[in-house]
Amino acid sequence: MAGIMKVKAKAKKGATNVKMMAKHIMESGQRKDKKTGELIPAMFLQEITVQHAGKTVFAGNLGTAISKNPYIAFSFEGGAKGEELTINWVENTGKTGTETAAIK
Amino acid sequence: MMNRRTVIKAVATGGALIGAGVLMPRLAMAAWNTDAFKADNQGAAMKALLGAEPSASSDVSLKAPSIAENGAVVPVTVKTSATNVESISLFVEGNPTPLVAEFMIPAGTAPQISTRIRMGKTSVITAVVKADGKLMSASQETKVTIGGCGG
């Protein structure tokens, strides 16, 4: 499966700036299906963890009020061009994914 | 023969071991706090997540638009001058469930986070920074012309 994460990580002056976006609907569970009038069940990313060289550099617990296609930006000390970031995500349905991205 | 006391003891240590095993790989990361994310009022959500309500502090800076045309996508940036920051969390008082997200800041990661959030209606956004065991916050009202929750 192609990944859902789009990651731009740039090493600069000893720190790495990370901008990431997940392609995900982030269904809040509060919208109604226009045809049936029934609530569309919630389906959203619950957890995102980013690791660099075996160390967690970012972790987020997300709720349904995070916009569709969640965007998160942060930066951490260390990291160099060519090194790899590992991103783990967990959906509220229990679905999980692990993806990698290179630092540029 | 096992009497009542040893049974209780065995159950207790067994439980503790299982708990430790589950938590091990995620060390610093608190599990997704269902109570806090499901709470429908801000005070309760803050208490469930952080244990108490924060006090306003100028050490926390919250950047959000004063008017958001589209409540489905409201860009927010939180930063703080505090040291030993453990987490940054975001709340929107007027949303059906006010807790938006909780971000852990491990040592070495800058205490600054940008993201985009949903707002159902005009409301106050509050960013809470947990640092050195203290809870500090900054709030701002954002007017929403089109809500981002229902539909």
Residue extents of the structural domains in chain B: 1-30, 32-144
Q: Report CB contact under 8 Å: A60, B102.
A: yes
A37: left (phi over 0), alpha (psi -120 to 50) or beta: left
Is pLDDT of A33 > 50? yes
- Among chain A residues, the shortest Cα distance to B76 is held by A72
List A residues 27-86 in contact with B (Cβ-Cβ < 8 A). 28, 30-32, 46-47, 49, 55-68, 70-78
Quick check: B65 pLDDT over 90? yes
What is the ipTM metric for this complex? 0.91
pLDDT of residue A61: 94
The more confidently predicted of residues B13 and B37 is: B37
CA atoms within 13 Å, Cβ hemisphere of B85: 26
Binary contact (B100, A66; C-beta < 8 A): yes
Q: Determine the number of helices (DSSP H) and then strands (DSSP E) in chain B.
A: 3, 9
Q: Is the pLDDT of residue B145 over 70?
A: yes
**B148 interfaces chain A, CB cutoff of 8 Å:** yes
Give the mean pLDDT of B10-30. 50
Q: Please, which pLDDT band fits residue A3 given cuts at 50, 70 and 90?
A: confident
Q: What is the pLDDT averaged over residues A46-75?
A: 94
Evaluate if residue B149 carries a pLDDT over 50: yes
A contacts of B97 (beta carbons < 8 Å): 63-65
Candidates A12, A20, A33, A64, partner chain B, best to mutate (most B CBs within 10 A): A64
Return the CATH number of the domain spanning residue range B32-144. Answer: 2.60.40.2470
Q: Which residues of B touch A70 (CB under 8 A)?
A: 115-116
Mean pLDDT value across residues A13-19: 94
Chain A segment 75-94 residues within 8 A of B by beta carbon are 75-78, 90
Confidence of residue B148 (pLDDT cuts 50, 70, 90): low
**SS3 labels along B61-124:** EEECCCEEEECCCEEEEEEECCCCEEEEEEEECCCCCCEEEEEECCCCECCEEEEEECCCCCEE
Compute the count of residue pairs across chains A and B with CB atoms less than 8 Å apart.
Answer: 116
Burial bucket for residue B20 (CB in 10 Å: 0-12, 13-18, 19+): exposed
Lowest mean pLDDT of B21-25, B41-45, B97-101, B115-119, name the range. B21-25
Query: Average pLDDT in the A42-55 region?
Result: 93
CB contact under 8 A, B118 and A78: no
- Dig out the tokens for A73 from the structure: 């930006």
In this prediction the pTM is 0.83
Rounded to the nearest integer, the mean pLDDT of chain B is 84
| Contact state of B104 with A30 under an 8 Å Cβ cutoff | no
Task: Determine which of A17-31, B7-21, B106-120 has the lowest per-residue pLDDT on average.
Answer: B7-21
Predicted confidence at residue B20, as pLDDT, reads 46
